[in-house]
Structure 1
C-alpha cells in the first residue's frame, strides 16, 4: 500500500467519533445527544462511528434499510389476542421479544438466548396504557432491535 494512502486512511480513522443517530416516528432523521435522551424514547436509535454527522446518518439509514430487507426473511411469529388489543412477537429462537398491549403498554426484550448469554432483558419497556403513537414506536423498536417488521394493521383499535 502506498504510504500516502495509508496516512490518509489512518487520518480518517483518527477523526472518527461516535454519533447518536435517531429516526423519529414521522420518518425524519436527526443526530446528537445521548441515546437515553427522553426526546428519543419513541425513536429508532443507533450509535454510529463516522467522520461527520452526515456520514453517520447515512450509515444508520443503510443499517435500517438492511434490517427492513432482512425482516422479511427472518422466521418470526406474531400472535394477536382475540380482542385484537394485544400483540406478541416471537423471535426465531421461540422467545417472546415483544408485547404491545393497549392496556399494559410496551415490552421489547432481548431474546432468551441472548439473556442466557448475559444480556439485559429490557430494550424498551413502558408499563402504562398505549395508543397509536406508542404502536408505531413499538413497531420501530422491534424492527430496529430484531429486524422483525410488524405490519401496521396487526393491532385492532
Structure 2
C-alpha cells in the first residue's frame, strides 16, 4: 500500500519481515556505533509488543529499502526502539515519514504517550523528535555503555494533532 504519510507516491511503508534483514542490517551498521545483530532483529520480529516498519522507495523495475522503525506498545505507551534511514537517503523527509507512521500507530492502538531515548550528542534526531512535540523529560546516565554517553529521555502525551502532522 502506498504510504499516506510520505510526501512521494514512490514510497511505501510495510511491516518488516525476515526477508528484509540483510538490507536492514546494512542500514543498521551504517547508522549506529553499536549496531544490533541479526539475532536481535529476528527476536524483535517475534515479540508481540513490537511493531516494525520498513520504508521502501519504489523504482521502475525494483524497490529499495531506505529506512525502518521499531517500536514497542506497552501499557498504553509507544516506546521508540530504533529508527534509521540509509545514509544516502537522509535529508529527504524519510525519518519524518517514519515518525508520522509511529504516531498513527500510537493513535490506532489508543496509546496515551510516546517515549524514547536519544544520544545527548544526536542533535539532528532531537530536532526531529521536537518537531513531533517530544520534549526532554530526563536523563539516563551512561545509557550508551560502550561510550558512556548519556541519553535524553524524550516524550509527549497523546493525542496531539500537531504531533500527527509534524508541524
Please give the range of the TM-score, normalised by the shorter of the 2 chains: under 0.3
| Structure with the higher strand share, 1 or 2 | 2
Please identify the structure whose Cα radius of gyration is greater: 1
